[in-house]
Structure 1
């Protein structure tokens, strides 16, 4: 079996390596020492297509495939894991909307993720008593005449300080296990969304990990991603792709 990268994969790898050496590596030590959030580096990454590596071109991505994505993440993580983890989560958010979103959701949000207009995307699944286990999830979305009202809290959200769009999971009915969970698209400037203080961590200090609170956040019907009660499927498929990013981070 030939493992030689094809032309597209090699092009993405070379581009990521050059960007990592030119932009990320010189700033990595200071970013880790001082903390904060690498907005400028992420904006430059967006210009190179690194926030939509596996997203279709018509939605603003590069559509280079999972192998090219993994190779790029290795190069980026070798220079700065903090910046790279924000990029991998944002790529994951863009991909999950591409796969599960309506045409309107895809055209409204995915190009903004790829271009950096949203800065990055955030993935809001975990809670104090629930990680990937839907049974413990207490964040709720209540149906109203105008859409939904979201209430609850999430923990350990990568890029929670700066992300312009979140995919948020909430219980929409009392069905046991995954059948009661739905996914929603929530803008970072939504009234009632409160970003908490970043966690103190042992490493990756340039990647903020933040609690989020949702105080009766009003959402339109169009904010529902995929179908009501199918949110667990959305999460598991997203995490399958996310593991590619984590593998690249570890290797880099």
Structure 2
């Protein structure tokens, strides 16, 4: 991965969009949809403190010249159809209220990103909007119910898992929020072991994938493939273990990843 996906807040912010035609109009619509103020002149945008610039000139020389000028003024630049001149790319977006799913390919293939987004459109129900807003409204109640951050996260992981009471793909989940708050339980803590059957992360069982995705700490032996470790939470603690060892005691759920040819003794 050579890009860091970020969500940039644009409400009320000036954003430069240069050029004419369908490409420039598409970028302007994208900015307005995010609440940004479209500025069509480069120096005006620089003077107003813009931080982003979209450049959609047909002429390659003009596009490169404006990209250099904007970058020298401290702006991040996106030049349509010229990935080598881009500081950032724009993903294909799926929106369900406050839930945004962004599918990007780093500028390699916008068509592939769009195709994947359309597949996801069919999977994510419109009710996801209500579920997200409901969870947001319950934030302080959740903090009171689960003062410990780890307990709170594990309870939500359990509820939001496939088949759970708040399963995001179930259109009825939003209607269960109040009932769930009344009897929410803390997800499993302790030590579990996953002995890999192959280097392919798709060979993980559904239960193993859930453990890995919700673990507070992932302890792994040498030889565990990076492709498998990438299925863990990005903020989980990762510990490299000598073969056959058990990790020191830790709070929360600890997953031990073993190579295919080893196990706990």
Q: What TM-score do the two structures reach when normalised by structure 1?
A: 0.27
Q: What TM-score do the two structures reach when normalised by structure 2?
A: 0.26
Higher helix share: 1
Bigger Rg, structure 1 or 2 = 2
Instruction: Answer 1 or 2: higher relative contact order, Cα 8 Å, separation at least 6.
Output: 1
